[in-house]
């Protein structure tokens, strides 16, 4: 069990090549992390490969028991992990943020360990008998982003380990302490070499992807990086799961009660201060309820406190890094200069010490505006007016990504009809963005391919084998 201080000390490096880690809310120095190169990557790969046969030779029950102990270890150090996550990523401890994320790591591990994956008898007709088994791939490479640095790492690592693979993980260079800390705690319960972590930026990620040791790469991040990974994994024919960017639409039908859906709309868009792959990033609202929905949403949004993550009253935090702040600022400025109406926010405090961008709602905005067409990945939501639902469906589908979408209506059957026509991996009805360890999750179009979670998620980190006879 760790305290914040002991955990930070365990993952801070002061000698050799290091990088300073600054708190995104205050700019204060938190610690420093090592910067690994190809030699450290090669050593990590060697250790993970050496550990794999013994790990795969355990029975499934034995691996499940180990994963249970990993979940216990995370739970025992959850306060320390949440504090470190809050300080490095910026997300508040409170609300659906840092404590929630660490809690999700524990519950995802337990659910992944408990998911049944029985051998399938595919033919048994008296003449033929064939079974479908799922075998380990070998060593899996895991590359993760900075928005949910612990939870997304668990989403990739837990099924990989359950299926008898070992893992080399590379956390984002923006949230390396969180990745190293999570792995340090997990390694209290894992055999040596089963989970290795390397610390570095995209160039180290690119080296990892090229390494022929990996039979599978699990990647979550931007569409642009996903394309590079696909190209450079081709030489090894490494299998890929790509969870990429999104620009999720929400469609509000005229039959809703605006006050009743306002809070759901808010969290659908602003969870993790908007830095969420499957957050609602464009909201299409029918003319009949447009003004009432805008008003109800602005009312809810104006009451959500934003500030330093360690202060308990806050439920929204800073953007994690300046690069993302610049994206949000550029897109909101583009909306403002087009004549769109700012309902809330839109004026960052130039004196603020951290990367804070205020909660921003932009109404009466044209669908072609960059704030609608590009992924803002931050706390700024464009609200587009429509009068014909066919037009809303067309606009929702007219982007090249398709991670999530949502339909908001009092008529579930009508909402399901519209859902079926939306080009997205998940369509939620009267909510947006919720995930569950037993419900498969993945994108369509340029949001990637492959499914995570549940039995489908286990299959994606294994290779099928038929035993025929
Ligand atoms: P990113 O693509 O910049 O970086 C993600 C990871 O890839 C980092 O670890 C980075 O170091 C590494 N990387 C960068 N270049 C690489 C290369 N050439 N080869 C191998 N690895 C490389 O993404 P980000 O800015 O960290 O995350 C934000 C993006 O991730 C958003 O677009 C968001 O929508 C997306 N995202 C998607 C999901 C999902 O489940 N679909 C979840 C979270 C985030």
334-336-341-343 Cα dihedral, nearest 10 degrees: 100
Point out the ligand 1 atom lying closest to the alpha carbon of residue 148.
43
Point out the ligand 1 atom lying closest to the alpha carbon of residue 246.
34
Ligand 1 pocket, residue 310 CB under 6 Å = no
Angle, vertex CA 275, rays to CA 272 and CA 279, nearest 5: 85
- What are the mean pLDDT values of the chain's consecutive 10-residue runs (469 residues total)? 96 92 96 96 98 98 98 98 98 98 98 96 97 98 98 98 98 98 98 98 97 98 97 94 98 98 98 98 98 98 97 98 97 98 95 94 98 98 98 98 98 98 98 97 98 98 97
Point out the ligand 1 atom lying closest to the alpha carbon of residue 208.
20
Ligand 1 pocket, residue 243 CB under 6 Å = yes
Coil/strand/helix, residue 306: strand
The Cα–Cα gap between 330 and 233 comes to 34
Reported as a single tens digit per residue, the pLDDT across 410-420 is 999 999 999 99
Ligand 1 pocket, residue 319 CB under 6 Å = no
- Minimum CA distance residue for ligand 1 atom 23: 221
Reported as a single tens digit per residue, the pLDDT across 44-90 is 999 999 999 999 999 999 999 999 999 999 999 999 999 999 999 99
Rg (CA), the chain: 23
Ligand 1 pocket, residue 115 CB under 6 Å = no
Tokens of 145: 């982003």
Point out the ligand 1 atom lying closest to the alpha carbon of residue 324.
25
Ligand 1 pocket, residue 434 CB under 6 Å = no
Ligand 1 pocket, residue 173 CB under 6 Å = yes
Measure CA of the first residue to CA of the last residue in the chain; give whole Å.
50
Ligand 1 pocket, residue 248 CB under 6 Å = no
Ligand 1 pocket, residue 220 CB under 6 Å = yes
The Cα–Cα gap between 91 and 325 comes to 14
* Active-site residue flag, 243: yes
Distance (angstroms) between ligand 1 centre and the Cα of 227 equals 11
Mean pLDDT of the residues in the chain: 97
Cα 288 to chain centroid distance, Å, stands at 35
Point out the ligand 1 atom lying closest to the alpha carbon of residue 447.
41
Q: Is 312 exposed, middle or buried (0-12, 13-18, 19+ CB in 10 A)?
A: exposed
Active-site hit among 243, 375, 423, 452? 243
Q: Is 220 exposed, middle or buried (0-12, 13-18, 19+ CB in 10 A)?
A: buried
pTM summary value: 0.97
pLDDT score, position 164: 98
Who contacts 381 (Cβ-Cβ below 8 Å, separation ≥6)?
A: 269, 270, 274, 280, 281, 282, 283, 360, 361, 362
Ligand 1 pocket, residue 229 CB under 6 Å = yes
| Residue in 94, 102, 80, 150 with CA at minimum distance from that of residue 307 | 94
Domains of the chain: 4-244+447-468 (3.40.605.10), 248-429 (3.40.309.10)
Q: Is 117 exposed, middle or buried (0-12, 13-18, 19+ CB in 10 A)?
A: middle
| Token pair 């260079």: residue | 173
Ligand 1 pocket, residue 277 CB under 6 Å = yes
- Minimum CA distance residue for ligand 1 atom 19: 206
Distance (angstroms) between ligand 1 centre and the Cα of 230 equals 13
- Name 226's bridge partners: none
Point out the ligand 1 atom lying closest to the alpha carbon of residue 221.
30
The Cα–Cα gap between 249 and 245 comes to 13
| Residue in 432, 424, 291, 279 with CA at minimum distance from that of residue 359 | 279
Q: Is 233 exposed, middle or buried (0-12, 13-18, 19+ CB in 10 A)?
A: buried
Distance (angstroms) between ligand 1 centre and the Cα of 242 equals 10
Distance (angstroms) between ligand 1 centre and the Cα of 147 equals 9
Distance (angstroms) between ligand 1 centre and the Cα of 223 equals 8
The Cα–Cα gap between 246 and 380 comes to 15
């Amino acid at each position: 069990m760790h305290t914040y201080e002991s955990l930070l000390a365990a993952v801070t490096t002061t000698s050799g090549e290091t990088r300073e880690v600054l708190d995104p809310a205050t700019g204060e120095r938190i610690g420093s992390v090592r910067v690994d190169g190809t030699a450290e990557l090669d050593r990590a790969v060697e250790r993970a490969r050496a550990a794999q046969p013994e790990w795969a030779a355990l029975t499934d029950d034995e691996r499940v028991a180990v994963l249970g102990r990993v979940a216990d270890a995370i739970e025992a150090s959850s306060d320390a992990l949440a504090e470190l996550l809050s300080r490095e990523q910026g997300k508040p401890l409170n609300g659906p943020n840092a404590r929630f994320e660490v809690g999700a790591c524990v519950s995802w591990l337990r659910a992944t360990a408990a998911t049944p994956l029985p051998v399938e008898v595919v033919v048994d007709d008296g003449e033929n008998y064939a079974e479908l088994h799922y075998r380990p791939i070998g060593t899996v490479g895991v590359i993760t982003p900075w928005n949910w640095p612990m939870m997304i790492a668990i989403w990739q690592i837990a099924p990989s380990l359950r299926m008898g693979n070992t893992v080399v993980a590379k956390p984002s260079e923006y949230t390396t302490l969180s990745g190293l800390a999570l792995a340090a705690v997990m390694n209290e319960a894992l055999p040596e070499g089963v989970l290795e972590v390397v610390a570095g930026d995209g160039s180290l990620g690119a080296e990892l992807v090229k390494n022929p040791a990996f039979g599978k790469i699990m990647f979550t991040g931007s569409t642009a990086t996903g394309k590079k990974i696909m190209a450079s994994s081709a030489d090894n024919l490494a299998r890929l799961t790509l969870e990429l960017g999104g620009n999720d639409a929400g469609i509000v039908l005229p039959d809703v009660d605006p006050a009743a859906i306002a809070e759901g709309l808010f969290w659908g868009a602003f969870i993790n201060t908007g830095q969420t792959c499957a957050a609602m990033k464009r909201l299409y609202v029918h003319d009949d309820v447009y003004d009432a929905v805008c008003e109800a949403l602005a009312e809810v949004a104006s009451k959500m406190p934003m500030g330093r993550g360690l202060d308990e009253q806050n439920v929204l935090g800073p953007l994690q890094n300046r690069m993302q702040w610049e994206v949000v600022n550029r897109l909101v400025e583009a909306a403002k200069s087009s004549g769109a109406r700012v309902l809330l926010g839109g004026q960052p405090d130039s004196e603020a010490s951290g990367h804070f961008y205020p909660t921003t709602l932009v109404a009466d905005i044209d669908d072609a505006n960059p704030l609608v067409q590009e992924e803002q990945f931050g706390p700024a939501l464009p609200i587009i007016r429509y009068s014909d639902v066919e037009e809303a469906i067309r606009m929702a589908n007219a982007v090249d990504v398709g991670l999530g979408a949502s339909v908001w209506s009092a008529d579930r059957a009508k909402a399901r009809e519209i859902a079926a026509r939306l080009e997205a991996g998940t369509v939620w009805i009267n909510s947006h963005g919720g995930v569950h360890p037993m419900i498969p999750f993945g994108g369509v179009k340029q949001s990637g391919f492959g499914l995570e979670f549940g039995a489908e998620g286990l299959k994606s980190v294994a290779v099928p084998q038929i035993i025929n006879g």
